[in-house]
A = this chain, B = another copy of it.
Amino acid sequence: MSRLSHFSGRNRVVIDAMRPMLDGGAFPVKRRLSDTVDVEAHVLADSHAHLDVVLSYRKYGESWEEVPMRDVGNDVFCGAFHPASIGVHVFRVIGWIDAFRNWHVGFVKKTAAGDPDIAVELLIGAKLVEAAAGRAADGEAAQLYDWAIILRDASRDLGQRVQLASSSDFYALVSAYPDRSLQTIGAEQEVWVERDEAYFSTWYEYFPRSCGPVGQHGTFRDAAGRLPEIARMGFNIVYFPPIHPIGRTFRKGKNNSLTAADGDVGSPWAIGSEEGGHTAIHPELGTVEDFQWFLGKAAEQGLEVALDIAFQCSPDHPYVRSHPEWFQWRPDGSVQYAENPPKKYQDILPIHFETLDWEALWEELKGVFEYWIEVGVTVFRVDNPHTKPMEFWRWCLREIKLKHPEVIFLSEAFTRPKRKYRLAKAGFTQGYTYFTWRNHPAEMRAYLEELTSDPVRQFFLPNFWPNTPDILHEDLQRGNRATFMGRYILAATLSGNLGIYGPAFELLEHEPFPGKEEYNHNEKYELKNWDWDRPGNIKSEIARVNEIRRGHRAMQGMEGLVFVATDNPHVLAYIRQTADRADQLLVIVNFDWHHTQTGFVELPLLELGIGSDKSFSVKDLYDPSMPCYEWRGSRNFFKLDPSKAPAHIFQLLR
């Protein structure tokens, strides 16, 4: 009966329901280095026997380690490990029935009950001790063999033999060499252990080409001039749109017009020209050496540099000639451009992932990341990953993570939720979100509840962007200073990761292309000459919020978010606190950017660990000019005038 061969018939332990586990182990969960990886599982066997259960884990390519798992009742076992370094780890649960330990439990009970058969029990024990000796280290094996001889020796006093078998030394040494030949090994689950910046990062996107003198194409050297100011505002990642040569064929003009005028610089996302493709640098920005010099200047300011990787080609990209099989060709001999019928995007060629040459294509694209990692880049923002195969990402990201676990990938997938989440499961570290379109307190709360619940929190690290070069939400179009600051505070206090597209954001730029959710005179298609210090900017406010984030662990991830009831539907109130409650903040945001709102919050005192009769003080970190208030009890008053500040960021002090 061949189906019998699928079974390990002598192994009586079964392992079920390990957690965390994502889709039966098909996708990795994520943790940060400072996290403990807590694991639980149901471990069962067909008897009343005591089970031995361990959590087995290793970093990819290293050897397995084990920690015991604790029986917490009802067939549930718990254990935890703490990874020593970032990278791809894997864990599993292993269980077995330890014959010696179970014999010993029975032996102790029988001895206590004065069982007349105890001599036979000693013989059974002797056999188990001998077997342990066979598994033991040399020195200890001799001791075990000696004990086995004593247990068997009928000429010795029975009481003495029983005493030996009941001693704690005996128990400890024998049980150090368990018989695991019939152990059951549960399913494996990967955990990608990430560096802290995966969970806590503050991004600043800008166009280096707009950093030059008026009328001139900016360079990396020009862009470096902005770094001290960006660092002063408290950002830790600067992110550039694609820095590659830009195609000339069908180049788009200003405001996305179909024909470019002389001197129009084109969209950085129309990648590739005779000067090169995805591993080349636009000559007007500088050379690879200039870029590496820029990386150094950024590092001096405590800034990392994120590159934008967009796997699409202009018709002038070198791949079109070197790898025609990576594109689709039309019967008239022309190459297939991107389209959403009847619209045509003739400046962009999508890559034909169904090509028979897919293996070389996948390797080449992975090589693009590897090239820039070699140059010194450790953060990538990936453009439209949802228009490339999910399975490509699952392979590519894991291959890179195995060698370069420090690399962070931000997925720019503005698409339906299941695709967005699938990309995170495939390995993207962070993802853009629907934050921009959550403009009322109730919908913001519901969205955060989704993001911070299982299974999403196991694999998806959100990155909240109030604006991007592609998105100027109506709320900002009609907004004022309070809108911009309010949206920034929401992003900064609800998510460990956030970013803005500057300097448009801090200058409160908000002129829309008529009828669209986009900027007019979009920087995607033209050089801008920003007055980086334009009056009315919110640079110092942003700096203050970022300083609060840096100073408070409670803000540096997605954990410890507790929503707080209020009686005013225009207002969202929430606690951010660390697990040890050493750091507790209360944020109250007035979503009505144009009118003062007042009301009461009802603090969850039990969850905060504050006695209902205890007073505590709240200090507004966002407006340090405000006095420190003494509060007592759960119900407390607030008043938010957006012309002064759209939010309180209170620190709770005892």
Contacts and interface: CB of A to CB of B under 8 A. Distances in A.
Interface of A: 1, 3-4, 6-12, 14, 16-17, 23-24, 26, 42, 44, 46-48, 74-76, 105-106, 109-110, 112-113, 115, 120, 123-124, 126-127, 182, 330-332, 334, 339-342, 353-356, 358-359, 362-363, 386-392, 394-395, 399, 416-419, 422
A391 B182 contact: no
B9 A422 contact: no
Taken together, the copies of this chain in the complex come to 2
A46 to B, nearest CB: 5
A340 B48 contact: yes
A332 B123 contact: yes
A476 B13 CA distance: 37
Given A7-B391, A16-B418, 5 more contacts: A10-B353, A24-B26, A74-B418, A76-B418, A110-B342
Contacts of A123: 330-332
A110 B4 CA distance: 59
A386 B332 contact: no
Contacts of A387: 46-47
Contact of A8 (B124, B332, B391): B391
Contacts of A75: 416, 418-419
A177 to B, nearest CB: 19
Nearest to A336: B124
A391 B9 contact: yes
13 contacts: A1-B363, A9-B389, A10-B356, A16-B23, A23-B24, A42-B418, A42-B422, A46-B387, A74-B416, A106-B339, A109-B342, A123-B332, A124-B331
A151 B339 CA distance: 22
Contact of A390 (B44, B334, B419): B44
Given A113-B342, A182-B354, A353-B10, A388 B418 contact: no
B46 A399 contact: no
Nearest to A388: B46
B46 A9 contact: no
A69 to B, nearest CB: 15
A272 to B, nearest CB: 21
Contacts of A14: 390-391, 422
Contact of A341 (B106, B182, B355): B106
A625 B113 CA distance: 62
A470 to B, nearest CB: 17
Given A4-B395, A75-B419, A390 B113 contact: no
Contact of A105 (B42, B330, B332, B341): B341
Contacts of A48: 340
A129 B358 CA distance: 25
Contacts of A4: 359, 362-363, 395
A363 B1 CA distance: 9
A589 B255 CA distance: 74
Contact of A395 (B7, B390, B395): B7
A358 B16 CA distance: 23
A141 to B, nearest CB: 21
Instruction: Name the residue among A16, A76, A127, A332 with the largest chain B CB count within 10 angstroms.
Output: A16
